[in-house]
Amino acid sequence: EIGHVCARHSAIQLSEALGAQVVTLAAMAAGPDAREMVPVTASLFQTIMLGYSREREFQADDMGLSYMHRAGYDPMEMSRILTHLRKKSQGPIGYSVYSSTHPDIFERISLSRSKAKLMLALDITTDKLKQKNGRGEAGVTREEITAYKGKVSEDEYKSHLEGLLYGPRENPHRIHIYSVCEGDTIESIAENVLEDRSRVEEIAELNDLDPNSPLRPGQKLKIIY
């Protein structure tokens, strides 16, 4: 969705839709003979608009994949979430992609998976060459791509959350990033930092942890107060 916004797809699509309406209205004003062509013209423009939408959907996928990779997320997750969307929105048998505003979901899954593998292969190859001080050659296997988890810039990402407003406008709180100290537990952070031991579950949920998960010194946790 961020890809759609950055590429201004909504604005472009609106301009094209308005242009199509102008042509249709002009045909209606031209006389009875021209009016007979209005349904055909409208159908033609709808088909063209859907085609543009599918083309832009692929562009947005590409942009989203690039943003994910540069931000430190595993790009393979795009194909996984598209697969999840497909399962959630399966329609009746015989559903036609040409009456949809989106491309065939299977094609999107396949393309995003292939491009993500290329990105990971490049990461692995770059890491290998760095270990050789940039000299020599480096290859990558399918198994290495499957096992590679990517470089998730988790701490850098969390640093950008510091101080962001959180919760309802009437009584807002802020997100803060807490750096774990030696001996800290989720329970001790809830008690000593938030002064409320009952918020253990909240801290764990916010950081995708189990309430009893061991913490390492320097680990960054999101907390709200």
Q: What domains can you pick out in the chain, each with its CATH number?
A: 2-88+100-121 (no CATH), 154-224 (3.10.350.10)
Tokens read off for 116: 């993500």
**Residue 109 zone, left/alpha/beta (φ > 0; ψ -120 to 50; rest):** alpha
The Cα–Cα gap between 144 and 130 comes to 17
Reply yes or no on whether the pLDDT at 45 is more than 70: no
pLDDT in tens, 95-152: 444 445 566 788 889 999 999 999 988 888 888 888 887 677 788 888 887 777 655 5
| Residue entry with tokens 């992609």 | 97
- Taking the CB of residue 68, how many other CB atoms lie within 10 A of it? 20
Q: What is the pTM of this model?
A: 0.52
Q: Under a CB-based contact definition with an 8 Å cutoff, are residues 56 and 6 in contact?
A: no
